[in-house]
Structure 1
Amino acid sequence: MASTRDRALDAALALVGEQGIRALTHARVDERAGLPKGSTSNWFRTRDALVAGVAAWLAESERNDFSAGATTPSIDTPEELVDALSLVIAVQSGPLASRTRARYALFLEGAGDEAMLAPLVAQRRVFVEWTTSLLRHVGARSPEESARTLMAAGDGLLLHRLTVDPDAEIRPVVERAVRACLD
């Protein structure tokens, strides 16, 4: 069974992902998690501490998911890279859409607050390194630059699917972006 703290953080993350950062209050988290009033404030005394806790929890959740995927088959060709990245975007804008919205909300909330953003930035760096490694493996001439380009395209597509067109095609966009990174 999840600890009280974990239940509060799961509820807080869901609130931010579903209702936005303004929905994040200690009372709403307690209610959402089915905890007695005041429980969340025992772990996170201030709203800033709660926001920072949610950011760290999100990064930890994504790190755990990423580590669990470490056993995926190797990606040896541009086609396999397109498949893998298309799947990541489909999952992030489908089953994990709430968590993705929460990540964007937290990045915006923490603009200018390096300490609060540190866990999210560190997790992003892991994904950048993974993407760079894959691009290098499939033959990109400038894998670091290509990773920035590919991730910007992916972020744009994610944002588009989360806000404007949830059914926007993924694979054609990812395929064009990967091909551009390999030329």
Structure 2
Amino acid sequence: MSVDTAATSLSPRRRELLDAAVHVVADDGLRGLTHRAVDRRAGLPEGSCSAYFRTRRALQTSLAEYVAAALAADVADLAEQLRGLSGADDRAAGLTAQLFLRWLDERELLLAKLELSLEASRDAELATVLTTSRSQLVGVVAGIMVAQGRDHATERAEALVASFDGILVAALPKPDPERRDFLSGSLRLLMAALGAPAGPPA
């Protein structure tokens, strides 16, 4: 994923520590996220992580921002590739499937995002970080809808982003050949449906 793009404003050491934190959360869940665990994963002396992220709260919040930025960078790249394509165009579903397969093959960021999203349901500060990121993502997708001349662009975009999340979660445990077929079929159905004319929102 576009970790490098997302981390351009970070110092090399902070980026190294947050990369390690992503792997810790992917392997052990958010409960396993400690300064010591990050230091061990990064191969750095004990105390390195706490020197940059003084508290676990600071580490967790910075990780949420880092993961959200990495995923948003990938989505922005995809939006450029989709420019001019309709939701019913098989190329749109194919390009989206390529990104999702990469996320699933390199699943650490995706797993970290899922762990952080669950925690955000109980943590207002974390929810703010992820809600801001999600709003930006919906805005990118809505922009594609507007460019295609679709009505109710924001409602469509919110439904599409939520549906993408569900498809990714459902695809995670599937074996590779089955996962590819599932993604391709699901995305074609979803994007064709959202590209169809919509009635007024309820």
The alignment partner of 1:77 has SS state of coil
Give the structure 1 partner of residue 194 of structure 2: 181
What is residue 87 of structure 1 aligned with on the other side?
98
Q: CA shift at 1:138, angstroms?
A: 3.0
1:15 is aligned, of 21, 24, 35, to 24
Kindly tell me: are residues 69 and 104 of structure 1, through their superposed partners in 2, closer, same or farther at Cα, counting changes over 3 Å? same
Residues 1:171 and 2:180 are matched in the alignment: no
Aligned to 1:76: 85
Correspondence for 1:156: 166
Q: For the structure 1 residues 132 and 81, does the alpha-carbon distance in structure 2 shift closer, same or farther, using more than 3 Å as the test?
A: farther
- For the residues of structure 2 that align with 1:71 and 1:82, how far apart are their CA atoms? 14
Q: What does residue 109 of structure 1 align with?
A: 119
After superposing the two structures, state which structure 1 stretch, 48-57 or 26-35, moved more. Answer: 48-57
- Structure 1 residues 69 and 138: alpha-carbon distance in aligned structure 2, compared to 1, 3 A threshold: closer
Q: How far did 1:120 drift?
A: 2.5
Q: CA deviation at 1:94?
A: 2.1
> 2:142·2:156 contact (CA, 8 Å) conserved in 1?
yes
- CA distance in 2: counterparts of 1:66 and 1:178, whole angstroms: 15
Q: Is the CA contact (8 Å cut-off) linking 1:58 and 1:120 kept in structure 2? A: no
Cα contact 2:79–2:144 (8 A) shared by 1: no
Conserved 8 A contact 2:78-2:95: no
Shift of 1:105: 0.4
The offset of 1:68, in angstroms, is 5.4
**Alpha-carbon offset, residue 73 of structure 1:** 6.1
* Secondary structure class of the residue paired with 1:93: helix
Q: Which amino acid aligns with 1:109?
A: E
Partner Cα distance (1:144, 1:49) in 2: 32
Equivalent-residue separation in structure 2 for 1:64 and 1:178 (angstroms): 21
- Alignment pair present for 1:140 and 2:150: yes
Conserved? CA contact 1:59–1:120, under 8 Å: yes
1:177 alignment partner AA: L
Which residue does 2:136 correspond to in 1? 126
Using the size of structure 2 for normalisation, the TM-score is: 0.78
The alignment covers a number of residue pairs equal to 181
For normalisation by structure 1, the TM-score amounts to: 0.85
User: Which moves more between the two structures, 21-30 or 160-169?
Assistant: 160-169
AA at the equivalent of 1:39: S
Structure 2 gaps, min length 5 = 1-10, 197-202
47-56 or 111-120: which moved more?
Answer: 111-120
Task: Please report the RMSD computed on the Cα atoms of aligned residues, expressed in angstroms.
Answer: 2.3
The percent of aligned pairs where both chains have the same amino acid is 27
